[in-house]
Chains A and B, each alone.
Chain A
Amino acid sequence: MSRQAARGTDIRKVNGELFTLTYGALVSQLMKDYENDEEVNKQLEKMGYNIGVRLIEDFLARANIGRCNDFRETADIISKVAFKMYLGITPVISNWSPSGDEFSLLIENNPLIDFVELPDGHNALNYSNLLTGVLKGALEMVQMDVDVRFVQDQLKGDNLTELRLKFVKRLEDAIPAGED
Chain B
Amino acid sequence: MASTAHPMAVCVAVIAKENYPLFIITIPTENELKFYYTVHTSLDVVEEKISSIGKNTTEARELYLGLLYPTEDYKVYGYVTNTKVKFVLVLESTNTTLRDNDIRTMFKKLHNAYVDMLCNPFYTPGENITSRNFENIVTAMMQQD
- Give chain A's interface residues, CB within 8 Å of chain B: 17, 20-21, 24-25, 27-28, 114-119
Contact = CB atoms under 8 A, between A and B. Distances in A.
Interface string B31-47: 00000000000000000
A27 B122 CA distance: 9
Interface string B116-140: 1101111100000001110000000
Interface in B11-49: none
Interface residues of B, number: 10
Interface string B85-125: 00000000000000000000000000000001101111100
Interface of B: 116-117, 119-123, 131-133
Contacts, number: 28
B113 to A, nearest CB: 11
A119 B122 contact: yes
A117 B119 contact: no
13 contacts: A24-B120, A24-B121, A25-B121, A28-B121, A28-B122, A114-B119, A116-B120, A116-B121, A117-B122, A117-B123, A117-B131, A117-B132, A117-B133
A3 to B, nearest CB: 29
Contact of B122 (A17, A21, A114, A116): A116
A117 B132 CA distance: 9
